[in-house]
Amino acid sequence: MTQKKYVVGITDHMIGTPDLEAEVLGSDVEIDFFATTDETLFDADRLGRLDALLVWGARLTSRSISRLHRCRGVVRYGVGYEKIDLAALANAGIPFANNPDYGTEEVADHASAMILSLHRRLWEHDARARGYTSGWQVHSLKPLSRSNRATIGIIGVGRIGTAVVNRLKPFGFHILGYDPGQPPGHEKAVGYQRVDRLDDILAQSDIVTLHCPATAESRGMLDADGLARLKPGAILVNTARGELLGDLDALEAALRSGHLAAAAIDTLTQEPPGHHPLLSAWRDREDWLAGRLVITPHNAFYSDHAAVEMRTNAARTVKILLDEGRLRNRVTA
């Protein structure tokens, strides 16, 4: 039997047992699978044995971090790290990395599909066509513009935002991009018009799609005030973070008034979503909302290929750390 050199913990997993990770990490690594998202159930002695820790959906706070006595690094399977206490990790001297190089194609496809379907009013046509008893083509919904007469505003032009630009350019949309983190000239290389103020992209865009992280600056950017700054009749797409929107009250009011023509959302602040009048109207297919609100269960990232890529890349990050002492994709507080 091969002597195990390292112990790698995996907090939880949504896709079965961590057999793929074991294959990537190799025979000299023992995997300790906690199999829970509840941090209070992480055993202190098991945490103390770990040379590295992979985190999926669990929260990681000082409660667990203080028990990682020999841990060389923590790696998250996903891109976001809102549930990870980076300050506590830094204080403990434990580096942290996320996993940005997976699922770009899937999220970009998902967002583009939402954009095109809402722009063409496909879901609304489908919902209303079921009740037509006379006429057929006369029921075309208006307004409905050509794609080359519409402006799309992309907030966050990183990997995914850039992939969305590349997908939408052939349709002829006028594409604006807002991302203070991108260097001058990025827009020229990718092919969009840079906008330097958030208010300007909100006011000018017929469709706004979000592709930025949830930070102190971006959380709640589209609260009631932010939604009010949208161009009247705009469409909103969010495949990034639920925290970018304000409360559902503001979203409901914007949809009811017609100021917001439609919205498509893949991420919510509470998942699965609880009770709210807007969610009840969506679940009950109320006529006023028919085809105007689309919600998918936080799976824009997913394809069979992306799931393998995500798990493989995260495990490789840990393997490089253990074998070479180098942590790729490192994120600091």
Residues recognised as catalytic: 241, 271, 298
Rounded Cα–Cα distance for residues 80 and 214 (Å): 8
Report the 3 state secondary structure along 179-197.
CCCCCCCHHHHHCCEECCC
Q: Identify whether the C-beta of residue 219 lies closer than 8 Å to the C-beta of residue 242.
A: no
CA 280 to chain centre: 24
Q: Which residue in 126, 265, 293 sits closest to 284, CA to CA?
A: 293
For residue 252, give the DSSP letter.
H
Cα 287 to the center of its chain, rounded Å: 29
**If you search the block for the tokens 């009048």, which residue do you land on?**
277
- Give, for 234, the enclosing helix (H) or strand (E): strand 234-238
Instruction: Indicate if the alpha-carbon torsion angle 154, 160, 163, 167 is positive or negative.
Output: negative
Which two structure tokens, joined as six digits, stand for 314?
Answer: 């995260």
Contacts of 130 (CB under 8 A, 6+ apart): none
What 3-state class would DSSP assign to 332? coil
Q: Considering just the CA atoms, what is the radius of gyration of the chain in Å?
A: 22
CB distance 317 to 97 below 8 Å: yes
CB 230 within 8 A of CB 210: no
Element (H, E) at 245: none
